[in-house]
Chain A
């Protein structure tokens, strides 16, 4: 598993807040860096990969049993 450069704790936040926080933070990281989003709203499992697709970012992995957590790499 790629070690994330940063962990964004969005637990307790309802969608779209985890996606908004990811969208705010990711452009501040260097290209290639991975951020791990912790989000327990079930919609995050759908919306974080969908956001990556819409924004051309790389969805690396979901960890349903740790957080749940979603790893996203800044692609550009």
Chain B
């Protein structure tokens, strides 16, 4: 990783030039002083991050290999630089009427403009929220509240993120109604059932995850959106695994994302509500963020989120080209080299960076611990690894084996050598666990 920083003064920034140093081989964050100080100090901080990162040489076996980007991607170097640069001016309340507040406002406006431009939406359609979860809650409950005169029914896929399902539970507990639409064995939405659910009376909102965070299957959002348009029902798309990685699908009215999925800091979500969408805040009144989410935003983190979003999106096509074959390799090698394993999710219409498989007769928690001891950080949808002791509702909806489950998700720092080491060690780890449990011949 090459990061060069030049600083010739203290204090920071107007943020308007936050992101204007892209070049063919570098992504930059430029932090300039407030315009009033510009003549005096010029540019005071620059951070350039080479697009061709030179990865640190790892010591041999045992060095940690982080393979859980779908939970949280490692902080992008652009996010780190932007966060540090924005700390000095990011503390003031952007709504106030004095110099410090104006500088904070400029940073916030610049971040919003950059994020909106990256997503191809209007800046006034985009709000920053305290997390992706908060954004998902607001998307569901606000979308339902805005159309309560039409009805109280939410139609959603069976494989939504738990944040969406928990919002749906809240809606049902308050007297509303929710219809869950099934998926097939590959985790792909049943479009006939989706169309039938939308044709029913009183549908206020439809929710469809853009791509499954658990198994990677990309959902048929454009087709689902056409049925929504025919029925006059707004579509909410949870795009947490797509934003910063893949082009957004067409046809949605409300969309959410989460910064730590693309290498931004934790604690920043995105809520996009398209113009003309009937959406009403489910929270007590608060004028910030267009009245969509209450409270002062964590401005330094928001700036870092916007800067890293732009950097991640600029690299997304190249990262897809690099990571998708590594995922193909994992899918193929796990299926052939680990006996009695079920690789799940759509093999073709899938996220470029994520793969999930289940190992027959293996305890998921034991497998995670064994992998952790060898330095591999992965996630699992097995019941024994969840606080509720229930299997993943996604694996359940697909009807695939839920025990011995492992989700591997790659990121910009993942190397081919990391993947090879994982593939070299996994068969032995699974074999040892099966031998310990006495299930080898079953």
Contact = CB atoms under 8 A, between A and B. Distances in A.
A6 interface: no
B113 to A, nearest CB: 46
A61 to B, nearest CB: 15
Contact of B399 (A23, A41, A49): A49
B384 A15 contact: yes
Given A46-B391, A50-B402, A54-B401, A20 B437 contact: yes
Contacts of A20: 361, 437, 439, 442
A19 B403 contact: yes
Contacts of B360: 16, 19, 51, 54
Given A14-B383, A15-B382, A47-B391, 6 more contacts: A14-B384, A43-B382, A45-B396, A46-B399, A47-B402, A50-B399
Contact of A43 (B340, B361, B362, B402): B402
A24 interface: yes
Contacts of B391: 15, 42-43, 46-47
Q: Is the interface of B mostly helix, strand, loop or mixed?
A: loop
Interface of B: 340, 342, 360-363, 382-384, 389-391, 395-396, 399-404, 437, 439, 442
Contacts of A54: 340, 342, 360, 401
Contacts of A45: 396
Nearest to B439: A20
A19 B361 contact: yes
Q: For chain A, which range describes its interface: under 10, 10 to 19, 20 to 34, or 35 or more residues?
A: 10 to 19
A47 B442 contact: no
Contacts of A14: 363, 383-384, 389
Interface in A21-49: 23-24, 41-43, 45-47, 49
Interface of A: 14-16, 19-20, 23-24, 41-43, 45-47, 49-51, 54
A23 B340 contact: no
18 contacts: A14-B389, A15-B382, A16-B403, A16-B404, A19-B403, A20-B442, A23-B439, A41-B383, A42-B389, A42-B390, A43-B403, A46-B400, A47-B402, A50-B399, A54-B340, A54-B342, A54-B360, A54-B401
Given A16-B361, A49-B399, A23 B442 contact: yes
A46 B361 contact: no
Most buried by B among A42, A46, A47, A54: A46
A70 to B, nearest CB: 14
A14 B439 CA distance: 15
Nearest to B366: A16
A43 B390 contact: yes
Most buried by B among A43, A47, A51: A43
A41 B403 CA distance: 11
Contacts of B383: 14-15, 41-43
Contact of B403 (A24, A47, A49): A47
Contacts of B382: 15, 43
